[in-house]
Amino acid sequence: MDVNDIKILLVDDENDVLEFMKYNLEKEGFWVYTAHDGLEGIQIAKKVNPQIIILDLMMPKLDGIETCRELRTMPEFKNTIIAFLTARDEDYSQIAGFEVGADDYITKPIKPRVFISRIRALLRRLETNGVAEKIKVGDIEIDRERYVVVKNGTEIQLPRKEFELMSLLVSKPGRVFKREEILSRVWGNDTIVGDRTIDVHIRKLREKIGEDYFKTIKGIGYKFDA
């Protein structure tokens, strides 16, 4: 994926942080847009349709959590990569971010080379082989090209991470996926997430798809049962 085709929106109320991120990303060849609060960020996102959005957690007018929640309600941002940039590293704030559809969590302060490395790791999630792929198990169908789950003929829209987690489990019904493997394959080795992250996403899937599909194997991981 050519970085010259990638648009990144940075939303933070601290000018020095914005300038730091903007400078380092533009130096790598990315198109960079900036906003100083969540409301402005949503307006700019609608205009430029970025592939990646980096949100500060604590902002005036509309904080990062509410901004992410609002963006995920819009079809055009269903598959956009959204990451939080924040000085806070408490588990509860990370869980809140993932619950509203965030893909990653980057903690301040961060060194330029590390920051660019994390952005490139996010970009790898956008890359696809261009081949439509569908998985059908029982009354569940996964359409990986359209990022849609179909249950009994009804389409269900899921946030990116919930969809990727479900895709992984459904790819091999009955197989137990260990927690470490799930974290590596869904969140990647470049992402640091809390231990409860998988549990939160499984709970959301059970609420949307059904309690009986996702089985907990205590002390090991999860499996999909059709």
Residue 53: strand pairing partners: 9, 82
Contact 139, 152 (CB under 8 A): yes
The token duo for 191 is 């992402």
Residue span(s) of the chain under CATH 3.40.50.2300 come to 3-126
Q: Does residue 219 carry a pLDDT above 70?
A: yes
Q: Is 174 exposed, middle or buried (0-12, 13-18, 19+ CB in 10 A)?
A: exposed
For residue 4, the model assigns a pLDDT of 64
When pLDDT is averaged across residues 60-83 and rounded to a whole number, the result is: 89
What CATH number belongs to 134-224? Answer: 1.10.10.10
Listed in order, the ranges of the chain carrying CATH 1.10.10.10 are 134-224
The predicted pLDDT at position 128 comes to 46
Q: Report pTM.
A: 0.61
Q: What is the pLDDT of residues 120-159, one digit of tens each?
A: 888 877 664 343 467 888 889 988 877 889 999 899 989 8
Q: Is the pLDDT of residue 199 over 80?
A: yes
Per the prediction, the chain carries an average pLDDT of 85
Q: How far apart are CA 199 and CA 187, in angstroms?
A: 14
User: How confident is the model over 74-85, as pLDDT tens digits?
Assistant: 988 887 899 998
CA–CA separation, 95 and 93 (whole Å): 5
Instruction: Tell the CATH topology of 3-126.
Output: Rossmann fold (3.40.50)
